[in-house]
């Protein structure tokens, strides 16, 4: 896991070699794939777009990219490449703890947690993280001016968390775990998913709340509510508000 993390840091450097910054949504867990040698590859935007087109059903996820967006981006305060080191911190938290640090059931709730990170960021005591890993997380998930990486990737790679890693020829080293892949489309390394558990009680509660907003079973703003494509943000970057159920509906 530590090797995967340091490879993310290493791969992150060329993206900004020209002084520019990538789109904020380029740094998230879904962008990081492992090849047959257990080496981390960050998908290019076109590859990610093609993957999204192949897996459009994922657009129904209640919590998406907002988990990885830095607060300065959400607040539209102006941002630089430093915003992506926030995303690296979120990925590190998720890899060590098992869930995103600002998890919520809706994108707007996630955004609110990210913006209020000073009070919402908590490292669970039961996760039993080392002091170095806690320090790295907290130095990545902080204000842009104080964030680790503001002076370059070497700042992150020199952190004590990576002290045991030999940075020379990193991608030529044998990974501590190499998955057994029998053929190109082998998915045996992924846990099976029970389709009956895909819709949990939380999502059912949300559906009931949405149903209560509908009039005569029809929603005026989402006529195709179960359609496979649904935007997370429909109104200038903000979730499209649900109408007042008592307001008139014009057809």
SS3 for the chain, per residue?
A: CHHHHHHHHHHHHHHCCCCCCCCHHHCCHHHEEECCCCCEEECCHHHHHHHHHHCHHHHHCCCCHHHHCCHHHHCCCCCCCCHHHHHHHHHHHHHHHCCCCCCCCCHHHHHHHHHCHHHHCCCCHHHCCCHHHHHHHHHHCCCCCCCCCCCCHHHHHCCHHHCCCCCCCHHHCCCCCCCCCCCCCCCCCCCCCCHHHCCCHHHHHHHHHHHHCCECCECCCCCCCCCCCCCCCCECCECCCCCCCCCCCCC
- Same domain for 43 and 158, yes or no, is yes
**What range defines the domain where residue 243 resides?**
198-251
- Same domain for 161 and 206, yes or no, is no
Query: How many domains, the chain?
Result: 2
- Same domain for 237 and 113, yes or no, is no
- Same domain for 54 and 103, yes or no, is yes
- Same domain for 74 and 136, yes or no, is yes
One digit per residue, the tens of pLDDT, for the chain of length 251 reads 555 555 555 555 544 444 444 444 555 555 566 665 655 565 555 555 555 555 443 333 333 478 899 999 888 878 888 999 999 999 999 999 999 999 888 888 999 999 999 999 999 999 899 999 999 999 999 999 999 999 999 999 999 999 988 888 888 888 888 888 999 888 888 888 777 666 555 556 656 665 565 555 554 444 444 444 444 444 444 444 544 545 554 44
pLDDT of res. 148: 96
- Same domain for 167 and 205, yes or no, is no
């Amino acid at each position: 896991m530590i090797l995967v993390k340091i490879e993310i840091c290493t791969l992150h450097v060329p993206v900004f070699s020209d002084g520019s910054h990538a789109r904020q949504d380029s740094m998230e867990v879904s962008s990081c794939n492992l090849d047959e040698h257990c080496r981390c590859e960050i998908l290019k935007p076109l590859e990610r777009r093609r993957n999204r087109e192949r897996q459009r059903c994922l657009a129904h996820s209640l919590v998406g990219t907002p988990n990885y967006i830095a607060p300065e981006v959400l607040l539209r305060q102006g941002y630089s490449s430093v915003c992506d080191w926030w995303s690296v911190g979120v990925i590190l938290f998720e890899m060590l703890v098992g869930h995103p640090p600002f998890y919520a059931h809706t994108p707007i709730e996630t955004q609110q947690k990210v913006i209020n990170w000073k009070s919402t960021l908590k490292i669970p005591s039961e996760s039993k993280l080392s002091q170095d890993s806690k320090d790295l997380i907290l130095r990545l998930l902080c204000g842009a001016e104080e964030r680790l990486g503001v002076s370059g990737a070497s700042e992150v790679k020199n952190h004590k968390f990576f002290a045991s890693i030999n940075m020379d020829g990193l991608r030529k080293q044998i990974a501590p775990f190499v998955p057994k892949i029998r053929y190109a489309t082998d998915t045996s390394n992924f846990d099976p998913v029970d389709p009956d558990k895909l819709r949990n009680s939380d999502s059912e509660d949300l559906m009931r709340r949405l149903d209560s907003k509908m009039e005569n079973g029809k929603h005026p703003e989402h006529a195709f509510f179960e359609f496979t494509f649904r935007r997370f943000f429909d109104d200038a970057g903000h979730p499209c508000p649900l109408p007042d159920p008592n307001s008139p509906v014009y057809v």
